[in-house]
Amino acid sequence: MHEPGEATNPAVRADDARDYVEFWPAGVATSGWFLCTACGNTVIVRQVLPRCMLCGERLWERAQIRGTPAWTAV
């Protein structure tokens, strides 16, 4: 706990794009490569994100393809 007036340093800069991971819920219309957040299963989506076929998870993140940053993968 910090005393009033004592300076604190943020652990991570929120505006640093490399540290930001966008999660995508099942049912969203999109296209591209995605990784299941629970088991790491990879899917290629052309219409709507499904639930993970291996574990049933509903959250995904964009997959990096051959060293390409996730935000440019599609």
The answer as to whether 2 is a domain residue is no
List Cα–Cα distances, 51 to 6, 19, 36, in angstroms.
Answer: 46, 25, 9
The answer as to whether 16 is a domain residue is no
The answer as to whether 35 is a domain residue is yes
Q: How far apart are CA 25 and CA 28, in angstroms?
A: 6
The answer as to whether 1 is a domain residue is no
- Residue pLDDT, tens place only, 8-21: 444 444 555 566 78
pLDDT at 17: 59
Q: Which amino acid is at 46?
A: R
Name the most confidently modeled range: 14-18, 19-23, 53-57, 66-70: 53-57
When divided into structural domains, the chain yields a total of 1
pTM across the whole model: 0.63
- Residue pLDDT, tens place only, 18-49: 667 899 999 999 999 999 999 999 999 999 99
Strands 42-45 and 32-36: antiparallel
